[in-house]
Amino acid sequence: MIRSALFATAMLTATAGAAAPGESQAADAPAALPFRATVLADLDSPWAIAVLPDGRLLVTEKKGRMLLLSADGKQRRTVATVAVDSAGQGGLMDVVAAPGFANNGHVYFSYSTAGPGGKGVVLARGKLEGAAGSERLGGIETLFSARPFVEGNGHYSGRIAFSPDGQHLFFTNGERQKFTPAEDKTMTLGKVLRLTLDGKPALGNPLAAQGFQPEVWSYGHRNLLGIAFDAQGNLWEQEMGPKGGDEVNLILPGRNYGYPNVSNGSHYDGRDIPDHAPGDGYEAPKVWWNPVISPGGLMIYSGTLFPAWKGDAFIGGLSSQSLVRVDLDGTAARKGDQWAMGARIRDVDQTADGAILVIEDEDDGSQGRLLKLTPAPA
């Protein structure tokens, strides 16, 4: 299925221009893209990508395979095959190198599995070891499992981010398309969790004294498919809304983000959900979309190849088949650009030199390719 990198200039179009927070961004006429896309690899339903300190890439595939790719994508080897439940939205999900990877080789990842009571998302850790060309992910151990496991195949979430000091791990648990768990103190579902590097509840989590599960950092979330810290230490998260109301949120300790009691979208059966409103007691999104973009992965750009975008958030768009940029300014955010990619974009990352990496979802005509975006020729 590999195609020439020339597809980029032939197939991609862009819609640009800023919109105020909370407003839908109108599509403008196709415009020249500010980047050139090069195809690095063709993959089998990839889900997440992680760039290692030496430039090599770890990629997860939905059915349970974890790949190690050379920086140019030309060499690859399977370093782990994880037993996952890949029905529906399940599978092998996020992958992130530990802050101390250069010394300890630790890799954190998430996946969905079946167990007593149904299915759930798991946080695991392994060690990348072995000589060049024979690497494997060994010593795999389960660190945390969502509570409770429930029936169904959706809204696992499972995204991972490390705190800037490298001492804590933030892990997203979706509400599993069950609505009310997002507000339920007794469950980790529909929550952002703050854990130790060994997957235990971190000391000082803000809601334990109120009867919440001790891991909970924030709650009232739906399907949290992106989480990342910016250079100032602010924690940003994006999630899929219901029918409308996709969100970018500034995550603050102990706050309730409202789902399913409030949302700027509606239920899929047409029932209304009250919109966020000042004084309603819930933390409102900084940016939201209706119509939706169906956000996939989230990356805060820190490179130099695209200096005008330094500090901005980049989001993969699934149903919107787009790459989305959000302007971040301290704790404020507003819509930036939305570029049509002609394929569902599942995840976004960046290389050490500031190139942007995106992976396609391999669904609805997408091919599951790994693309490298660099500045377009002047």
Model pLDDT, residue 31: 63
pLDDT recorded at residue 269: 93
CA atoms within 13 A on the CB side of 313: 33
What residue type is assigned to position 100 of the chain?
A: G
Burial class (CB in 10 A: 0-12, 13-18, 19+), 280: middle
If we measure between CA atoms, which residue out of 356, 239, 315, 337 comes closest to residue 16?
337
What is the predicted pLDDT for the residue at 30? 52
| pLDDT reported for residue 60 | 98
- Dig out the tokens for 123 from the structure: 């946080």
The single residue of 106, 155, 168, 221 carrying the catalytic annotation is 155
Q: Helix, strand or coil for residue 294? A: coil
Task: Please state the φ and ψ torsions of residue 186, each to the nearest 5 degrees.
Answer: -85, -5
E-strand ranges in 196-255 read 216-219, 223-229, 235-240, 246-250
Which helix or strand (DSSP H or E) is residue 103 part of? Answer: helix 101-104
Would strands 216-219 and 191-195 be described as parallel, antiparallel, or unpaired?
Answer: antiparallel
Contacts of 327 (CB under 8 A, 6+ apart): 18, 312, 333, 334, 335, 336
**Sequence letter at residue 190:** G
Q: How many CB atoms lie within 10 A of CB 201?
A: 16
Separation CA 156–CA 85 (nearest Å): 11
Cα separation, 310 vs 328, in Å, equals: 9
Query: Position of tokens 């196709």?
Result: 30
Active site residue 155: yes
Query: How many Cα atoms sit within 13 Å of 123 on the Cβ side?
Result: 26
Q: SS3 for 101?
A: helix
Give the chain's residues under pLDDT 70.
1-31
> Is residue 117 packed enough to be buried (19+ CB in 10 Å), middle (13-18) or exposed (0-12)?
exposed
Distances (CA, A) of 331 to 236, 287, 313: 9, 12, 12
Domain boundary assignment for the chain: 7-375
Res 90: pLDDT: 98
SS3 state of residue 97: strand
d(CA 221, CA 170): 14
Q: Write the single-letter amino acid at 279.
A: G
Half-sphere exposure of 53 (CA within 13 A, CB side): 12
Buried b (16+ CB within 10 A) or exposed e, 202-217: beebebbeeebbbbbb
**pTM for the full predicted model:** 0.92
Rounded Cα gap, residues 220 and 181, in angstroms: 8
> Given this model, what pLDDT does residue 55 score?
97
For the beta carbon of residue 352, count every other beta carbon within 10 angstroms: 12
- Taking the C-alpha atoms of residue 316 and residue 241, their distance in angstroms, rounded to an integer, is 15
Check the CA dihedral 306-312-313-316 and report its sign: negative
Rounded to whole angstroms, the Cα distance separating 38 from 376 reads: 11
Beta bridge partners of 226: 238
| Whole-number Å distance between alpha carbons of 32 and 311 | 23
Question: Which CATH topology does 7-375 take?
Answer: Neuraminidase (2.120.10)
